[in-house]
Amino acid sequence: MKVKLVEKFVSINGEGQRAGEPALFLRFPGCNLNCSYCDTRWANDVNAKAAKMSVSDIVKAVEDVKIDNVTLTGGEPLLQKDIRELIHLLLQAGLQVETETNGAVDLSAFCEERPVFTMDYKLPSSGCEEYMITENMELLGKDDTVKFVCGSQKDLLKALDVIQTYNLTNRCHVYLSPVFGSIEPVQIVEFMLKHRLNGVRLQIQMHKVIWDPNERGV
C-alpha cells in the first residue's frame, strides 16, 4: 500500500488542542475544496509533486523521528486511498494522531479506529460552506475539535449559529481562528465576549507568528 506525500516535517503544532507542542506533520496532496483563503493551495492539486511511500515506510520514518504527536494534513488527507491503514498503524504504534479535515468528507468511514479529528466548518467567506457535511457533527466527541476560520462579522455570526444549532461546546472543543490579514483577533475576542461564548476559544495560527506567514515546512 502506497500513499502520496508532499511534505514531511517536524515543527510545533500551530493550532488545535496540542498547539505549542512538538509534532511531526505529514502533508498529503489533493483537496475537494477551493477555499478563498487557502494557504496551502500548492498542495491541493492531486498531481502536486509528491513522493510515493508505502504505509509501512511512513510509519517507520515517523517512529525514527521520536515525536509522539503526528498531524495528518493537506490538502485533504482523508481523500488518500490507504489513509485508514496508515492511521491504524500509527495508532498501533502508540502515537497521538490528529487528522485535520475540511468538513467536506464523510467521517463515518473513519470512526471504527479513529484518530482525533480537527474539523473545519467553512464559513461564508471561504466560498465553500455549501459543501459542509453537517452529519459529521454527530460523530464528534470530547477529544475532537471544530474550527471556524473567520474573515468577517458575517462569518462570526454564522459560526455562532452553527455552535448553537449543534450544541458544539457540549460535544467537542470549539475554536474561532482569524483569516490571517482579513480580520483582527481583537474583533473575534469582542464578539466572543459580547455573545458570552463560554467554552469557545480564540486560536491564533502560532506558526504564522513565529515564522514568516508564507514559510513552508514549519
Domain that holds residue 148: 2-210
Are 74 and 28 in contact by the 8 Å Cβ rule? The answer is yes
* Number of domains composing the chain: 1
Residue 138's Cβ-count burial label (10 Å; 0-12, 13-18, 19+) is exposed
- Tens digit of each residue's pLDDT (9 = 90 or more) over 56-110: 999 999 999 999 999 999 999 999 999 999 999 999 999 999 999 999 999 999 9
- Asked if the model's pLDDT at residue 26 lies above 60, the reply is yes
19 inside domain: yes
pLDDT of residue 211: 59
218 inside domain: no
- Tens digit of each residue's pLDDT (9 = 90 or more) over 29-51: 999 999 999 988 888 887 788 88
Lookup result for grid cell 473513519: 110
31 inside domain: yes
What's the pTM?
A: 0.92
**CATH of residue 202:** 3.20.20.70
- Per DSSP (E only), the strands in the chain are 2-5, 7-12, 22-27, 51-54, 69-73, 96-101, 116-120, 145-150, 173-178, 200-202
180 inside domain: yes
Better-predicted residue by pLDDT, 18 or 153: 153
Cα–Cα distances (Å) from 86 to 74, 96, 108, in that order, read 15, 13, 17
Are 18 and 203 in contact by the 8 Å Cβ rule? The answer is no
217 inside domain: no
- Asked if the model's pLDDT at residue 195 lies above 90, the reply is yes
